Amino acid sequence: MNMCKDKLIHFLVVLVYSFEVLILIGGKKIEEKLCLKFLKIIRIFVLVQQVLFSFCKI
């Protein structure tokens, strides 16, 4: 279970870092659109995380 949890945390960290890099490259014009897309991605990630956690528990 710990390994599964570590992978999920690592995935989230990578996701956040790649988002920050995109903002640095794209600048502020793209930032608002990216934020909206990123929020959708986070919602999807949370759902995926819940599914993975239920698999980890099995």
Q: Where are the domains of the chain?
A: 14-57
Give the confidence band of 57 by pLDDT, cuts at 50, 70, 90: low
Cβ pair 35, 23 in contact under 8 A: no
Give the confidence band of 27 by pLDDT, cuts at 50, 70, 90: low
The model carries a pTM of 0.40
pLDDT at 31: 64
Task: Give the Cα separation of 51 and 48 in Å (integer).
Answer: 5
